Amino acid sequence: MRRQVDLVEKIKSYDPDADEDAINRAYVFAMQAHGSQKRASGDPYFSHPVEVAYFLTSLKLDTASIITALLHDTVEDTEATIEQITDLFGEEIAALVDGVTKLNQLELKSESSKQAENFRKLLLAMSEDLRVLLVKLADRLHNMSTIHFIKSEDKRHRIARETLEIYAPLAERIGMRQMKEDLQDLAFGALYPEARDSIVTRMEFLRRQGGAEVERIEKKVSELLEKGGLQPIQVYGREKKPFSIWHKMEMKNIPFEQMSDIVAFRVIVKSIPECYQALGILHAEFHTVPGKFKDYISTPKSNGYQSIHTSVIGPDQQKIEIQIRTLEMHDVAEYGVAAHWTYKQKEKATHEGKQFRWIRELLEILEQTDDPEEFLENTKMEMYHDQVFCFTPKGDILALPRGATPVDFAFAVHSGVGQACVGSKVNGRIVPLKTVLKNGDQVEIITSKNATPSPSWERFVVTGKARAEIRRFTRIAQRQEYINLGRAILVKTFKQEGKEFQDKMVEPFLARLNKKTIEDVFAEVGEGLLGRNKVYETIVGDVLNPPKKKTPFLISKLKKLNGGGKASMPIKGLIPGMAIHYAGCCHPIPGDNIVGIVTTGKGITIHVMDCDTLENYSDNPERWIDVSWDAASQNHSYVGRIRANLSHEPAALATLANVISQELGNISNLKITNRTPDFFELLVDVEVKDARHLNNILANLRSKPVVQSVERYSS
């Protein structure tokens, strides 16, 4: 275990003015508080906070951060209190310790919702002071280094997966590349030990075979730069981490032997002009690899990363990757936000500037949803991405995830711009909103005061912020539709019983219906979650009987679609003797939320609740019938329509038919709607039992290489 004097000396080496007395008091306080507690490894528990604190000294963090690291587990795991911390060390350190403590209280829970709630708390805590995140990352790094002592495999995997999905991307977002790679590699070893051992063995073999070659390339590059009149600070080769190699092999589906950039070479120079001078010298000597040049100096990444990346055909005709940067850029690339955190900075880190814009965007997502798991999904989208850089008409730069569209761009500019978006221009040309943006595109968003987000946008947006905003608007609009529909259903129900319905009649019965507001009752009736009969019975106290008289336009002599008069009906809520039809626009099947629309001379047409055609009947609530699927529906077959986009190659159509057949579906109709030299699109009507049956078919189709895309279709 690190000695007290070692820790103090390390801090004093970069901060001579550090509060030595406070550090010593924190060391002693934490040691006494943890007492005889042991870790899973058998080591004294106090060794953990000391190692966390010592790691933070390597980042040259301020005294408050080091003391927080020493104390970060005392409030949760010992009898120490926040009040004691405040009295002994002041409000600043108490606030930091409290922030880390709140995160730990939900740590290591198996339920995904707990993990999501934990991440919400982390976000809120770090939005107040980024040092909370730095301490938390150091804490996670040391815990991962000793994860092999945990006996439960499930627990090890859960911690490792959380590290890989949340903490490593957070480290990357604040520019701490070294910490990110260490977290990824430790998690990789815990989750896939055999894969990691295999890669390490291969790398050791290559190192033995090609160690001299790396030195030769370093020497060749140094000589070229010096010959060109440039004296670099350092030229060196650096191996990729095992996780990085494995991830690239998985993403690009290539074997280890085809990896050409296991070693990347770095050129460190004194100034920005020398970066471009070095680039010119190297490009003059070596052939460049097309599409492999990136200038992150003129256009930095959102986490502040700056460097020039280029790939060239180097000595012996080998492809090598070279990164060129200044010493300051190198420090930022390795240590991110911590590189800016010198001992002279006594104030909290601010979150202004583009490198912290993502924190504000995640906070906006947090405000858009009450569902922790949806929040976690959207924030993972925000953290996992390669970037493209696009320009506003005024020349401002926005960094977006690769695959982003003008809708993502619009919401990145401002939520209001995204909500009012009706079209877009890219490089002066009007393009569809689902167009994928490329590096350097200039994007102009066309807006309208009366515009609203379309639910269909969710199919192609890639940013968490855009998805959260679209879902929020859809939920609000959908709820209002359900409220209107539910109220109309209740008005009609009461009218059929010869009674007049008024909104205020519901209020005394909210508790009995287990609802908070009248709107909640209307919304659940409209959505089909609360039966109209139950509301009527609760208010009136009498069972709702079917009306004795049919409305004039209901024709009892119409035949039912599924058979004769006494056959079991697959739909509940219909008046006996009425004909039913399934809408050809949305093809409802059991499992869908449905509604019936009365049509003169045709009986009742069954629609899926979110069918666009229902907008035509929004002004005629008296034509809406509250219906649902009956158990008898399981004995029938129904037509679900799908749209598939297949590769134009032999056996593509046979593959589609075989999958549907294997899943016990039956093709009743097929139509090719579009054809190109590479792809063809078709509509397929499939007879299925219910929505789950259709979803199984869709899932199986998506696993086939010839199927580019497939989805349920509604016209």
Residue recorded with tokens 């509250």: 626
Segment 150-159 long-range contacts (CB within 8 Å, at least 24 positions apart): 150/40, 151/40, 154/110, 155/108, 156/190, 157/190, 157/191, 158/108, 158/110, 159/108, 159/190
Residue recorded with tokens 């909640």: 520
**Tally of CB atoms within 10 A around 430:** 11
The 3-state DSSP class for residue 428 equals coil
Active-site annotation holds for 76: yes
Give me the catalytic one of 76, 117, 458, 681. Answer: 76
Q: Residue 461: name the closest of 508, 516, 421 by CA.
A: 421
Give me the catalytic one of 77, 98, 285, 295. Answer: 77
Rounded Cα–Cα distance for residues 414 and 434 (Å): 18
Query: DSSP labels for 612-667?
Result: GGGGGGTT-GGGEE--EE-GGGGGS-EEEEEEEEEESSTTHHHHHHHHHHHTT-EE
> At CA 120, angle to CA 115 and CA 123, rounded to 5?
125
Q: Residue 54: name the closest of 122, 90, 104, 1 by CA.
A: 1
Taking 3-state DSSP, the helix, strand and coil percentages for the chain, each rounded to the nearest 5, stand at 50, 15, 30
Beta bridge partners of 624: 597
The 3-state DSSP class for residue 453 equals coil
Rounded to 5 degrees, φ, ψ at 217 are: -70, -40
The 3-state DSSP class for residue 266 equals strand
Residue recorded with tokens 């978006």: 421
Contact 497, 540 (CB under 8 A): yes
Contact 404, 382 (CB under 8 A): no
The 3-state DSSP class for residue 445 equals strand
- CA-CA-CA-CA torsion sign (359, 363, 369, 373): positive
Rounded Cα–Cα distance for residues 144 and 157 (Å): 11
Contact 580, 561 (CB under 8 A): yes
- Please give the span between the terminal C-alpha atoms of the chain, in angstroms, as a whole number: 68
Rounded Cα–Cα distance for residues 609 and 438 (Å): 38
Rounded to 5 degrees, φ, ψ at 111 are: -70, 140
Enzyme catalytic residues: 76-77
